[in-house]
Amino acid sequence: METKLAKDVNDIREENKKYFAATSQMFADKIKVTEENLAVALKSLEITRNELTQSKGVIEKLSAELNASLSHMETTTYNLKSITTELSSTNAVVADLTTQLNDLQKRIGYADIKLAPVHFYVQRNSSFDKTKTPIPFELARVNEGNVMDLPSGIFTAPRKGTYFFSFTGMQSSQLQHQLFI
């Protein structure tokens, strides 16, 4: 019986050796796969670290550009506020000047002057030898406001004011000529 027991123990030992060998091989294979997976993960982590380092540089550059843009925007905003203040002041001055101009136009009758301008350019192409008589004219090149009556030679001022007149004459012979205005 002892030999049978020894043989059974020996068989169990052999089976256990085979089982442990198979289990050891299985764990060795799993460790190898895990090591390979860890190597891939480490490589991936290294790539990610490099990308993060590059991204950090880009973010720092963009941050600096953003700060510069914000500073420029603050300056621009300040300038716009100054311009707005100056424009408001200018608008107030323009409004005041417009009011003063409207008042002045009402006092001098600007609307009437603007609606009825006065100027004329008339001429006579023949001789005239009467004295103390208005000169009748034959041709009106311009008679804006209809203020010059050609046949009578009389100018009628449409309103009080200061008027400017110019006269040109021509002498056709050596005889003495007199002009009274």
Please, what's the b/e burial string for 126-164 (b: 16 or more CB within 10 A of its CB; e: otherwise)?
A: eeeeeeeeeeebeeeeebeeebbbbeeeeeeeeeeeeee
Mean pLDDT (the chain) is 86
> Could you list the residue range(s) of the whole structural domain that residue 136 is in?
116-155
- Contact, 166 vs 141, CB < 8 A? no
Residue 18 CB: number of other CB atoms within 10 A? 10
Confidence band for 28, pLDDT divided at 50, 70 and 90: very high
C-alpha 99/C-alpha 104 separation (Å) is 9
- What is the per-residue pLDDT across 77-128, written as a single tens digit (0 to 9) for each? 999 999 999 988 898 888 888 888 878 777 766 555 555 678 889 998 888 7
- Contact, 128 vs 144, CB < 8 A? no
Our count of domains for the chain comes to: 1
Bridge partners (DSSP) of residue 140 are 122
In a domain, 49, yes or no: no
Map tokens 């006269």 to a residue: 167
In a domain, 135, yes or no: yes
In a domain, 136, yes or no: yes
In a domain, 143, yes or no: yes
Question: What percentage of residues in the chain have a pLDDT greater than 90?
Answer: 46
In a domain, 48, yes or no: no
Q: Are strands 119-123 and 139-144 parallel, antiparallel or unpaired?
A: antiparallel
In a domain, 138, yes or no: yes
Backbone angles phi, psi at 178, to 5 degrees: -125, 145
In a domain, 134, yes or no: yes
In a domain, 120, yes or no: yes
**Single-letter residue type at 4:** K
